[in-house]
Amino acid sequence: MYRILMAIDGDEHSERVTEETITIAKGLNAEVTVLHVTGEYDVKNRISVHMSDDYWAQIKKNMQEEADKIVNKAAEKLKENGVKAETKVLIGKQSPADGICKMADRGDFNLLIVGSHRLKGVREMFLGSVSNKVAHCTVKNVLIVK
């Protein structure tokens, strides 16, 4: 079975990434794992020292809910189009690229699909920082959707 890992960050471009993944997954009769990586890296250290444990718990819960929404929405779209899909959310201290790489290397995936225009991309010159890092670190075949 051909297995695809699709990593999305939930921005507008994620829809395009999902559409391209549908095309490819249907063609290859592939199974898709929808991945979203989020975590504490999103909160600046300077801010985080002022937060209580309760507040952190609340934030993590919000992150989880937000992440679930993102992957479920994409998975539903895949399923609507007849593509077998499962979801995975990683929440932790790692960067999105590291999380994606770890997941891609651990699972038995034939192809990793990411978008090139990411939320963090505004800081980058052209190619999003995440897709750039992922292209370098993972041993899998990588498709970068523009």
Partner 1 sequence: MQRILIATDGSDHAEKVIDKGLVLAEALNAEVAIITVVGEYVFSPRVSMQFTNDNWKQINQHLKEEAEELVAKAAKPFKEKGLSVETKVVIGHQAPADAICEVASEGNYDLVIVGSRGLRGVKEMFLGSVSNKVAHLGCTSVMIVK
Rounded to a whole number of angstroms, the minimum distance from the CB of residue 111 to partner 1 is 8
Q: What are phi and psi of 52, to 5 degrees?
A: -80, 165
Please list, residue by residue across 71-106, b when 16 or more beta carbons sit within 10 angstroms of its beta carbon and e when fewer do: bebbbebbeeeebebebbbbeeebbbbbbbbbbbee
Question: What tokens were used for 74?
Answer: 């994409």
Taking the C-alpha atoms of residue 1 and residue 91, their distance in angstroms, rounded to an integer, is: 28
Q: Taking CB under 8 A as the rule, does residue 82 contact partner 1?
A: no
Residue choice 4, 7, 24, 103 for contact with partner 1 (CB under 8 A)? 24
Residue placing its CB nearer to partner 1 in the complex, 36 or 133: 133
Which one of 52-60, 73-81, 87-95, 127-135 is the stretch in contact with partner 1 (CB under 8 A)?
127-135
Tell me which of 11, 15, 20, 105 binds partner 1, using CB under 8 A: 20
Report the residue number, 36 or 117, with the smaller CB distance to partner 1. 117
